[in-house]
Chains A and B, each alone.
Chain A
Amino acid sequence: MKASAFGYTKANDLAHALALLTEHGPTAQVLAGGQSLLPMMNLRLAAPEWLIDINGLSDLADISDAGDAIRIGAMTRHRTLQTDPLVAKHVPLLAQAVPYVAHAAIRNRGTMGGSLALADPAAEYPAVALAWGATMVLASASGERRVAAKDFFVDLYQTARQPHELLVAVEFAKTRPTQRSAFTELAQRHGDYAMAGLALTLQVKANIASEVRVVPLALGSKPELLAPVMACLEGQALTAARVQAAQAAIDEAVEAQGDTHANAATKRHLTRVLLGRALQQVMETA
């Protein structure tokens, strides 16, 4: 199908984009990579009156070292993230997740900011951002504000971003020497939307786990921490028995929603399997 009619402006710079957002606000959509928005428009699941194209904002495509954190511009493409040395060194969980994001041609266009702002619960970056405790940087004509990932994802395709705001960057704290992470995912075809997936990060000292954070993909309406699983692992030695206990805790943690790929019971089962694999990876590298 074809998208319904809309108006279109290509922003010249950030100030122009923010002025356009102030003017068009709730009736507009920001066009970043367009790899989720344009399909939704072609299917007429979305029909914005105005598109604000931010592909000309090249300063939003920068990855920089901000001291304690790595700052990733919202217009950074998946393709760039995949090979970026700062990301590989300082945010390994993100580097582990990028290969699962879509297919080659889509990775050439799709962006970090677009994926986070859309907040699809089956997408990789929202889960990674929440597990890592990333910070979103939102700009508007009246200034900038920062929102923690745990407050950013509100519900299905809903975030704390206001209609006049633009997500300009996301900041990931640098990994620490004792930190370990793992990302696992299952899809019918490599690069397709996840049937199930899992982002995991924790500190491991003398085989004792702490600061455990686990976020599943494609289970609920938004990315959420698996609190009972985290509690089960926190302060405990990483043993085979402990992994089994954590896997069992998924059942109490998750109100899974089935979809066309798998029903709720299957999704819980797959998530248990993926948690086992992720912890195994961590134990092998700790």
Chain B
Amino acid sequence: MKEVTQTIDTVVNGEAMQCEVPVRMHLTDFLRESLDLTGSHLGCEHGVCGACQVMVDGEVVRGCLTLAVQADGKRVDTIEGLSEQGVLAQLQAAFLQHNALQCGFCSAGMLLSALELVREQPQATREAIREHISGNYCRCTGYQAIVDAIESVLQGKFAPASEART
């Protein structure tokens, strides 16, 4: 079958753009291959590992289970764009401090899951943290350090009101 393309209007990390994309291309391929935003990774490409996660209109989604053409009219935020904002920077610092990453392959997706948790469940227990990151595989750390890092941000100076949901 012939490759079909469509033109999309989207805002990626705050930058409005118009692009022509093959309709069968998923969002993470579009970000990595067309825009050189290689922070989100491709592990399994069938929704199991969570390494591909990005935000679409403020919600964390699997980039490999979202078509690029579905970003038409939407706002996409990747780890590259979000790193400049307060809570994610805190989480990144906490991940470093707690050795919550080794190879770093899962970190972009893991950090976005953590960001959503901190925004939506600021009172989350360790059990709730584990449940919320249960869709993100890490093959290095054994998760303990990741839970420690997220918990440290939840218990720290984080004030939900200080950050608008973007």
Contacts and interface: CB of A to CB of B under 8 A. Distances in A.
Contact of A7 (B23, B46, B65, B113): B23
A199 to B, nearest CB: 21
Given A108-B59, A108-B61, A190-B134, A5 B66 contact: no
Contacts of B22: 5
B53 interface: yes
B116 A104 contact: yes
A118 to B, nearest CB: 14
Interface stretch (A32-40, A122-130, A169-177, A256-264): A32-40
B26 interface: yes
Interface in A100-135: 102-106, 108-109
A6 to B, nearest CB: 6
Interface string A82-108: 000000000000000000001111101
Contacts of B50: 103, 105
A104 B3 contact: no
A259 B3 CA distance: 36
Contacts of B64: 38, 42
B34 interface: no
B135 A105 contact: yes
B100 to A, nearest CB: 18
Contacts of B6: 8
Nearest to B134: A190
Contacts of B125: none
A8 B135 contact: no
Interface in B53-70: 53, 59-62, 64-67, 69-70
Taking each of A1, A4, A35, A103, which has the highest tally of chain B beta carbons within 10 Å of its own beta carbon?
A103
Interface in B1-35: 1-4, 6, 22-26, 29
Given A35-B62, A106-B47, A6 B23 contact: yes
A6 B23 CA distance: 7
Contacts of A1: 45
A35 B4 contact: no
Nearest to B57: A108
B62 A109 contact: yes
A34 B65 contact: yes
B98 interface: no
A10 B134 CA distance: 32
Taking each of B1, B22, B47, which has the highest tally of chain A beta carbons within 10 Å of its own beta carbon?
B47
A5 B113 contact: no
Contact of B60 (A34, A35, A42, A108): A108
A191 interface: yes
Nearest to B132: A104
Nearest to B50: A105
Contacts of A5: 1-4, 22, 24
21 contacts: A2-B25, A5-B1, A5-B3, A5-B22, A5-B24, A7-B1, A7-B23, A8-B23, A8-B67, A34-B66, A34-B70, A38-B64, A39-B46, A39-B47, A43-B46, A103-B135, A105-B61, A108-B59, A109-B62, A109-B65, A191-B134
Given A5-B22, A103-B135, 15 more contacts: A3-B24, A4-B24, A6-B23, A6-B24, A10-B69, A31-B67, A34-B65, A38-B64, A39-B65, A42-B46, A53-B70, A104-B116, A105-B113, A105-B135, A109-B66
